[in-house]
Each structure stands twice: as C-alpha cells, then as structure tokens.
Amino acid sequence: MSIFRRSKRTETEPASAPEVEDATAVEDEGTEAAPEDDAADRTSGPYDVSEVDGRDGRLDLGALWVRGVPGMELRLEVDQETQVVNAATAVFGESALQVQAFAAPRTEGLWADIRREIAMSVERQGGTVEEVPSELGTRLRTRLPSAGPDGRTVFAPATFVGVDGPRWFLRGVLSGRAAIDDEAAEPLLEVLRELVVVRGTDPMAPRELLPLRLPQDEPAAAADEADDDAPATLDPFERGPEITEVR
C-alpha cells in the first residue's frame, strides 16, 4: 500500500441510501441467522475478528483490518465537517473497491434486502441491474446513467458485493475496470476476502455504520493537492461530503 494524500473527491450521483429506521433500536438478541442460499462462502474470508489470530500484518482501521496487495493504494474517505472516516477505498490500477461495514441483527442477514433496495434505486434512475452468482454470494452489476462532458448520457458501471457475517454486514463496491472485468476485479476481491471485521460488543441499530478510524500505525503526512483521477464509485450508503484521506 502506498501513498497517503488528502484531497477532495469528485463523485457520480449516488443511488438513494437505505436509511436506518430507528437509530436507537437495539439489535435482535435471538439465535444466529441461518445462511441464505445465495450467501457468501466465508471459509476463505472475509473474516470476523473471532476467526483470526491477531492482525497478522493487516492495517488497523478500527472496524476493519485491511491487508494490502502489491501496487495497491489505500484511501480513507473522511467527512469534511465531522472528520469521521466513512469508508476505505483500495485503488489498484484503473480499478477501485470501496468497503464499509455495518451492524446487523443476529437473526437474519441484510444483503438480500439491501440488494433489492439498490436495484430498485438504480432502475428508478434509468439504470440497469444484473444479479450474478459468485463464490462471495450474489453480486449486483449496475450501470447508472449520468451526463458526459459533451452532454450525452453515459453509463457508469459499478458492481456491489455484500457479505453477511455474525452481527455485521460488509458492503463492497467495485468501480472502474473492475466493475466490468473479472480479471481486473480479482486483486481487489482478494483484498475483500482478506478483510477482518471488528464488530465490537456495543448494541447498535441494524445498518448503523461501524466506526472506522485513521490508522494508528504510522504518522499522518500533510498534503493539500487536489486529486481528480480516482475512479468514481456508486455509493448507496452515502454519508455526505467526503474527502480522501491518505497517509
């Protein structure tokens, strides 16, 4: 993992976000959910913190431990007003993977419902949606229309990956070349499979974002240059204005 920079980010228009209906609701304390037919096979990751023996070289971002791959750049998306880290984005060549982790109830997974909500939102905006089976469960390939530089309508591709874990839900968005090319996506999917989710023990409402933080392992570097070359991502959990925080 290389350079860390702070820069403003240019985004495509995001899909509508599924909202947490009751931010104070406490998660269901019943039995663990039975796996769905299209659920991800987590035997090779991503992992719960209870399933690994320490960080093993992964970068500690709070709710997520991230292992890099050669040539990867890690960017942390920070809310300008609150300075809260909202997401981590791994950039590899012309592709990017944005990841976020959310609280989930014990009794059921979230991905099936969230997948339907994303599909409905994309289709309402005139986009297209395709469900694709994979070893990480059902993926959602989308193309969202937007205005190009010449005024013509262009379609931005994004592939959504969802993984239900014990009391957490992990959402990834592949953008750039990785959204349409399985070979280009593979290094970033390996990053996703190597992720460790640290849910914590505090009661949280389902779909509440698990807190991320800047890494504590190395000092921050100062830089203010703008960087408009990062691949844009379609984000159904958009949390307001963001910048890229890189260290």
Asked if residue 34 is part of any domain, the answer here is: no
pLDDT tens column, 186-235: 999 999 999 999 999 999 999 999 999 998 755 433 333 334 444 444 44
CA 76 to each of CA 8, 9, 91, 151: distance values in angstroms, whole numbers, following the listed order: 12, 11, 11, 31
pLDDT tens column, 140-173: 999 999 888 888 889 999 999 999 999 999 999 9
* Between 36 and 80, residue with greater pLDDT: 80
Residue 49 DSSP SS3: helix
d(CA 231, CA 246): 15
Asked if residue 6 is part of any domain, the answer here is: no
Question: Are the C-beta atoms of 111 and 170 separated by less than 8 Å?
Answer: no
pLDDT of residue 245: 35
β pairing state of 95-103 and 85-92: antiparallel
Asked if residue 30 is part of any domain, the answer here is: no
* Between 68 and 139, residue with greater pLDDT: 139
Its domain, for residue 82, covers 40-147+154-245
Does residue 37 surpass a pLDDT of 60? no
Asked if residue 14 is part of any domain, the answer here is: no
Asked if residue 159 is part of any domain, the answer here is: yes
Give the residue among 145, 111, 141 at the shortest CA–CA distance from 129. Answer: 141
pLDDT of residue 107: 86
The alpha carbon of residue 39 and the mean position of all alpha carbons in its chain are separated, in whole angstroms, by 17
Assign residue 61 the CATH number of its domain.
Answer: 3.40.1000
Asked if residue 71 is part of any domain, the answer here is: yes
pLDDT tens column, 60-104: 999 999 998 899 999 999 998 988 999 999 999 999 999 999 999
The total number of structural domains in the chain stands at 1
* Between 42 and 47, residue with greater pLDDT: 47
d(CA 43, CA 123): 33
Asked if residue 50 is part of any domain, the answer here is: yes
Does residue 55 surpass a pLDDT of 50? yes
Q: What single-letter amino acid sits at 79?
A: D
Mean pLDDT of 103-119: 95
Structure tokens at 82: 């609150």
pLDDT interval class at 38 (50, 70, 90): low
d(CA 111, CA 88): 19
pLDDT of residue 22: 34
* Cβ-Cβ contacts under 8 Å for 140 (sequence gap 6 or more): 115, 118, 119, 129, 130, 131, 132, 159, 160, 162
Asked if residue 13 is part of any domain, the answer here is: no
